[in-house]
Amino acid sequence: MTSGPAFEWKLRELMAIRGMFSTSDLIEPLADRGIVLSRSQVYRLVAETPERVTISLLLALCDILDCQLTDLAAAPDPANAARPAKRAARKKAAGETPLPPSAVPPSFFVRSGP
């Protein structure tokens, strides 16, 4: 089992650079391109790193944000790779028990259109 996606999801950063500061700013542009998502799906798409995304959604995001796929999903920075392990160790040292991976709800997947 993997510990999560092997990429950094940069959608929120790209939106901010383009002056889009609300997740709902994506709903209409996506719908214009045939991708119909609820507010909560768009929020999760922006706020979390998705495990599965359709090609049509990726292409729509690249078109809306005028970017390349490599701008949306980048290889992780090796210098930051150890950061989550350090946080877990600090929590454990402070007496808090981090959630086991099985307690984390599975990621959603995005469906386009009806």
Q: List, for residues 61-97, the tens digit of each pLDDT value.
A: 999 999 999 999 988 877 765 555 544 444 455 555 5
DSSP, collapsed to helix, strand or coil, labels residue 9 as strand
For the ranges 35-44, 59-68, 97-106, the lowest mean pLDDT is seen at 97-106
Per-residue pLDDT band at 109 (split at 50, 70, 90): very low
